[in-house]
Amino acid sequence: MSRKKSNPVSSTATCQVYLCVTPVKSSICNRIVINMQITDNNNREGSQNNIQHIIVPSEADCETGIKRDRDYTTEDRVLSNPRLMTQYNEDNKLIEKILVILSIVLTVVTFPLSLLYVFIIVRQFERAVILRNGKVYKQRVFGPGLIFYLPCVDSVKFTDLRTICYDVPPQEALTKDSLTISVDAVVFYKIDDPISAVVNVANYKVATQYLAATTLRNALGTRKLSEILINRPAVSYQVFQLMKHLTKNWGIQVVRVEIKDISLPLQLQKAMAAEAESTRLANAKIIVANAEIETAKNLQKATEMLMDNPFCMQLRYLQSLQMVAGDNTHTIVIPFSVDTFKNIFTK
C-alpha cells in the first residue's frame, strides 16, 4: 500500500490509495482509488472529509479477469501488434511457398501420370477461378481452353456466363389498398464478375432467386391493385432496379424482369365483374338517352321543314307507300290526318 500527498503548505490535499491484489492464478491488479479532499481549517474546529469516488473489486470481477486472460490467445496478441502481424504474414507466405514447391515436386515425381490431373478444360461459356491456398490466384479468371493447376494447393471454381432464366413461383402479397393477390414473374440474370460471384456470396443462384421473390413482394406492397393491373411494366421496372443495385456486389447482372400472371381471389373476381358490368350498363343507358335526344331534335327539324311546304308531306306519303309496296304484303295502311276527316264530314 502506498500513499501520496500533495504539498503540505496548501490548505487542500488529495489522498489516493492504491491497493494491488495479485491472485495466485492470474496477474490481475485490482486497484482501489479513493479521492479524499481534506480541508485544513485552522480557524475552524474539526476537519471535513469528502469521498468522491470508490472502486471496489468483487470476486466475480476477479473470475472474469482470469477468464479474459485465458481467452487472450496468441492470435489476439499478434493481431494487436503490427510488428507481430507482419512477421505472422511473412511466415504464412513462407509456408504457402513451401506447399507450392512440394506440389510441384509431387507433379514432377508422378510424371507422366500427373498429366491426367494437372490440366483441366474450361468450355467457351465458362470461366474458372483458381484458389491457391484459399486465395484467388493472380486476381483474374482463367479460360476458355486448357488451363494448368497444381494439385493439393489449388481448387478450381467454375462459373457459367450464360444468361440464366428463373421462374419465380407465385408470390402472395398484400397491396397498398389491402387486397391479396398472387403474382408470378420471370427473372433473367447472368454472371458479370466471376470472382465476386465466387468470393462474395456462398451460392449466387439461391441468393438471386430468394432476392427476386422478396423484391417482388415488396414492390407489390407499394402499389394499389388498379396500378398493378393497368401498368405491369412499371412494376417490372421497379423490381429490376431494386435487384440491379443489390446484386452488383455479388457479380450478378440482372438482365430483365417480367411479370407473367396476376391471380385474384374468386370472390374479388366476382366483385370486379359486377362492378364492371354495372359500369357498362350505366354507360349504355347514357348512350341510348343521348341517341333519343338527338333523334327527337332531328325529327323536330324535319317536321318544321315539312310543314313549310304541303307538297313535301305528299311526297313523304308517296315514299312511304313505295316502301310498303316493295315488301310482299297485301296490307297497305293509308294515314289520314284529323284535319282531313274534318273536311270530309263537314262537307
Q: pTM higher than 0.75 for the full model?
A: no
| Alpha carbon distance 209, 191 (integer Å) | 14
CA nearest neighbour of 250 among 325, 193, 312: 193
- Say if residue 144 is preceded by a cis peptide, omega within 30 of 0: yes
Residue whose C-alpha cell is 477468464: 67
Confidence at residue 190, expressed as pLDDT on a 0 to 100 scale: 95
Residue 63, C-alpha cell as written in the block: 473470475
For the segment 142-161, what is each residue's pLDDT rounded down to a tens digit? Answer: 989 999 999 889 999 999 99
For the segment 47-64, what is each residue's pLDDT rounded down to a tens digit? Answer: 444 444 444 455 555 555
Confidence at residue 334, expressed as pLDDT on a 0 to 100 scale: 67
For the segment 182-218, what is each residue's pLDDT rounded down to a tens digit? Answer: 999 999 999 999 999 999 999 999 999 999 999 999 9
**306 — pLDDT class (breaks 50, 70, 90):** confident
Buried residues in 174-193 as b, exposed as e (16+ CB within 10 A): ebeeeeebebbbebebebeb
For the segment 252-262, what is each residue's pLDDT rounded down to a tens digit? Answer: 999 999 998 89
Cβ proximity of 97 and 105 under 8 Å: no
Confidence at residue 64, expressed as pLDDT on a 0 to 100 scale: 56
Mean pLDDT of the chain: 77
CA distances from 277 to 193, 228, 271, 287 (A): 54, 21, 10, 15
